[in-house]
Every structure is written in C-alpha cells, then in structure tokens.
Amino acid sequence: IMDDTTNDIDLHENEIFKLLSSIGTELSASAQESIKFIQGNNSAGTRVRKAMQKIKTLAQEVRVEVQAQKGTIERSSLFFVL
C-alpha cells in the first residue's frame, strides 16, 4: 500500500517506481499476448517470451537501483548518527 504523504517523497520521480511501472506495463501486454497464444497464435508466444525477457531485465535493474539507493540512505543516515 503506497501512501503519497510518506516522507513527502514524490514516488513517481523515483527510478524504482518507474521501473516497477514498466514491469507492470510489460506484464499487462504479455497477458494479452498469452491469451492469443493459448488460442493458437504461435507468434504471440514469441512475443510473450520476449516480454518475459524484458521483465527479467527490468527486475535486475530494480535490484541494482534498490541497492544503489540503499547505499545512499545508509550513508546519509550516518551523518545523523554522528
């Protein structure tokens, strides 16, 4: 559950949020293509596989970005401790 008032952070400007939105878009599109594949359109199966590869790439980008932001948060929190 996302609350836009949390720490006055603009979630839509955060790279993690953008990547997750892209994953959602790809997933929706691949769901439609999977229906076509199930109905016998083999070309749609290729598009589903391509979308899954894109989602895999985006998921890795999310992992990297989370780690990068985590490092930034940890460094900035050290200043408050000192």
pLDDT tens per residue, range 29-56: 999 999 999 999 999 999 999 999 999 9
pLDDT of the residue at 38? 98
State the pLDDT confidence band at 80, using cuts at 50, 70 and 90: low
Using CA atoms in the order 63, 69, 72, 74, what is the torsion angle rounded to 10 degrees? -70
End-to-end CA distance of the chain: 33
- Closest Cα partner for 47 from 39, 57, 36? 36
Q: 5 — phi, psi (to 5°)?
A: -85, -5
Q: What is the mean pLDDT of residues 4-19?
A: 75
Q: Which tokens go with 45?
A: 């199966």
pLDDT of the residue at 12? 73
pLDDT tens per residue, range 69-78: 988 866 555 5
